[in-house]
Amino acid sequence: MSEEALEGFRAAVLADTGLQRRLRGLGRDEFLRQAVAAAAELGHDLSVEEVEAALRGARSEWLERWI
Partner 1 sequence: MDLVDLAGWTPARVRVEAGAPEVEWVYTGGERFTDPFFEQTIERVLRDPFSLLFRQRTPIETLSDAALIPGLEPRGFVFHVSRCGSTLVAQMLASCRRFLVLSEPSPVDAVLRAPVVRSTRVAWLRRLLSVLGRPPEREGALFVKFDSWSVLHLDLVAEAFPATPWIFLYRDPLEVLVSLLRHSGVHGVPGALPPELFGLAPAELPDLSREEYVARVLERICEAALAHADDPRGLFVDYRRLPGFVLDRLPRHLGLELAEAELQRMSEVARLDAKNPALRFEPRSATAVPPEVARVARQLAPLYERLEAAAC
Tell me which residues touch partner 1 (CB under 8 A).
10, 13-15, 17, 20, 23-26, 28, 31-32, 35, 51, 54-55, 58-59, 62, 65-66
Instruction: Report DSSP letters for 20-56, one per residue.
Output: HHHHTT--HHHHHHHHHHHHHHTT----HHHHHHHHH
Cβ of residue 32: shortest distance to partner 1, in angstroms? 8
Cβ of residue 7: shortest distance to partner 1, in angstroms? 12
Cβ of residue 60: shortest distance to partner 1, in angstroms? 11
Cα 66 to Cα 61: distance, rounded to the nearest angstrom: 8
